[in-house]
């Protein structure tokens, strides 16, 4: 799901989808497992594996709940000559999302997946950082006094201020996954799973510029009803995942009554997400549209990443379709620069150009296949985001060749702000840490 105000965390959407729909059959690691159709399923013990039963059709229906928390510090440069960063505000983000998932087997190790996110709530909270104050004798550079012309925001962060988004449908995900190699069918190979995901811009557009003329009280009235969560961008995510079940001790391998596979299932996944801003995204300024033909102000970033780890299969009964596994892994995600929704967007009510950055972290999940047709999952993720500028718009193009912009003959960007994008006044997000947890239930037909 791509929920624009989720800032960096939203950009893991492709990775989250690829690792969704767990608890297929007791085969490959959950990240590479694909349900199928028009197939046969092995039954019986290891010495009786010639017995099969027809498995003409598989379908999974799942529901999951996740909650995500992110904390960071918004700093601002001081001085044009030797800029130093000074903490201005704390930023706290929280969301709650329900996901409704359907997976349909189409042929051998080929399946279609659909995920529908319901955003229950998103909250962005701003408050002065420790030691920062507004007022006549304050030291803040973004808020001074009510109605002061120097204010960059129109609310007093002394007591904190919240922007609330939701409830609403997020962007619906459609995915095809295919495993041309499967270590359950051929123990001499690793499982390879290829995935293609399309993210449809089904969520209602959130246009922060529409809030710009409103007063603080009017914004509060809007947020009490829940602001929208969509960005109207299309995304295509391409992925490749590999896993290999291994480590079955000799005493198990030689016992014909042992009805399980190896204890360890290491995996690795890489992915790339291609963004395409939709025609219904936040509209471009007419001056900028005349300059380069852009119809939208929104420039979503390109994303690439990896996820690696292992499943420790503590218990498994292939015949009964039962499994208990612990999934431990790490991830890394690169997000390119772009113009979009950042931690300062709600506060200043506009999209801003941001610097490229990385997200890194780890997770622990529990996968419990209680029976052949029902399973549970639960997990936690801890992450960190590298510090990066969140206001750094280019001032334009020097067309008269005098080495600077600002002249009438130049292209002077309507998105550039001398108070936020000028070196010495830019804003930066730092000390970002996030935590999330999820629980899920799945039924297989």
- pLDDT for residue 41: 58
What phi and psi values does residue 177 have, to the nearest 5 degrees? -130, 135
Query: Which pLDDT score, from 0 to 100, does residue 46 have?
Result: 41
Q: Which residue has the higher pLDDT, 8 or 92?
A: 92
Q: What is the pLDDT of residue 437?
A: 97
Omega within 30 of 0 (cis) for the link into 123: no
Q: DSSP E strands: which ranges in 244-373?
A: 264-277, 303-317, 322-335, 338-340, 352-354, 357-371
Question: Exposed/middle/buried for 381, CB within 10 Å: 0-12, 13-18, 19+?
Answer: buried
> Which pLDDT band holds residue 45 (cuts at 50, 70, 90)?
very low
Does residue 283 have a pLDDT over 60? Answer: yes
Query: What pLDDT score does 79 carry?
Result: 78
Query: What value does the mean pLDDT take over residues 330-343?
Result: 96
Q: Are 25 and 55 in contact (CB under 8 A)?
A: no
- pLDDT at 5 exceeding the cut of 50: no
Query: CA–CA separation, 176 vs 195, rounded Å?
Result: 6
CA angle 300, 338, 359 (to 5 degrees): 85
Specify the pLDDT at position 39: 67
Contacts of 188 (CB under 8 A, 6+ apart): none
- Which range of 47-56, 159-168, 403-412 scores highest in mean pLDDT? It is 159-168
Q: Are 240 and 212 in contact (CB under 8 A)?
A: no
Share of the chain above pLDDT 70, in %: 84
pLDDT band at 311 (very low <50, low <70, confident <90, very high): very high
Instruction: Say if residue 243's pLDDT is above 60.
Output: yes
Strands (E), 52-209: 52-55, 59-78, 84-107, 110-128, 161-165, 168-169, 172-181, 191-200
* DSSP 8-state assignment for residue 262: -
Query: pLDDT, tens digit, for every residue of 74-131?
Result: 999 987 667 789 999 999 999 999 999 999 998 888 999 999 999 999 999 999 999 9
Contact 95, 118 (CB under 8 A): no
Residue pLDDT, tens place only, 173-193: 999 999 999 888 888 899 999
pLDDT grade, residue 172 (50/70/90)? very high
**pLDDT value of residue 287:** 77
Residue 410 is predicted with a pLDDT of: 82
At residue 253 the predicted structure's pLDDT band, cuts being 50, 70 and 90, is: low
Which of 382, 361, 368, 359 lies closest to 437 in space, CA to CA? 382
* Residue given tokens 């204010």 in the structure block: 151
Please give the model's pTM, rounded to 2 decimal places. 0.88
Q: Please tell me the least confidently modeled range out of 109-118, 181-190, 300-309, 331-340.
A: 181-190
> What is residue 51's predicted lDDT score, i.e. its pLDDT?
52
Highest CATH level, class, for 4-391+426-444: mainly beta
């Amino acid at each position: 799901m791509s929920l624009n105000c989720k800032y960096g965390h939203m950009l893991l959407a492709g990775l989250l989808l690829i690792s969704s729909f767990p608890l297929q059959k007791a085969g490959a690691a959950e990240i590479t497992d694909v349900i199928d159709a028009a197939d046969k399923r092995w039954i019986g013990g290891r010495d009786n594996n010639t017995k099969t039963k027809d498995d003409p059709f598989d379908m999974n229906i799942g529901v999951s709940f996740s909650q995500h928390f992110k904390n960071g510090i918004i700093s601002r440069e001081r001085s044009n000559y030797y800029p130093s960063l000074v903490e201005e505000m704390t930023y706290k983000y929280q969301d709650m999302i329900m996901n409704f998932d359907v997976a349909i087997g189409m042929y051998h190790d080929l399946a279609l997946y659909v995920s529908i996110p319901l955003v229950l709530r998103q909250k962005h909270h701003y408050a002065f950082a420790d030691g920062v104050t507004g007022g006549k004798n304050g030291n803040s550079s973004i808020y001074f006094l009510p109605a002061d012309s120097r204010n960059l925001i129109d609310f007093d962060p002394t007591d904190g201020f919240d922007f609330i988004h939701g409830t609403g449908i997020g962007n619906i995900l459609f995915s095809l996954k295919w495993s041309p190699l499967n270590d359950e069918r051929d123990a001499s190979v690793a499982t390879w799973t290829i995935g293609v995901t399309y993210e449809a811009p089904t969520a209602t557009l959130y246009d922060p510029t529409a809030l710009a003329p409103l007063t603080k009280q009017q914004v509060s009235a809007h947020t009490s009803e829940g602001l929208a969560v969509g960005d109207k961008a299309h995304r295509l995510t391409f992925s490749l995942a590999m896993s290999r079940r291994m480590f079955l001790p000799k005493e198990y391998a030689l016992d014909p009554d042992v009805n399980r596979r190896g204890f360890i299932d290491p995996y690795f996944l890489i992915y790339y997400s291609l963004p395409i801003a939709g025609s219904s995204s936040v509209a471009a300024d007419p001056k900028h549209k005349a300059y380069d033909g852009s119809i939208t102000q929104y420039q979503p970033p390109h994303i690439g990443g990896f996820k690696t780890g292992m499943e420790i299969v503590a218990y498994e009964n292939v015949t009964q379709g039962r499994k208990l596994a612990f999934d431990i892994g790490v991830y890394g995600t690169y997000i390119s620069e772009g113009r979009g929704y950042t931690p300062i967007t709600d506060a200043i009510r506009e999209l801003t150009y941001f610097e490229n950055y990385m997200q890194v972290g780890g997770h622990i999940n529990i996968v419990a296949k209680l029976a052949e047709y029902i399973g549970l999952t639960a997990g936690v993720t801890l992450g960190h985001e590298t510090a990066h500028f969140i206001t750094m718009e280019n001032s334009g193009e020097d067309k008269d060749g005098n080495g600077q912009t600002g002249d009438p003959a130049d292209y002077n960007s309507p998105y550039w702000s001398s108070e936020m994008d000028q070196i010495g006044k830019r804003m930066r997000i730092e000390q970002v840490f996030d935590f999330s947890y999820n629980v899920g239930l799945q039924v297989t037909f």
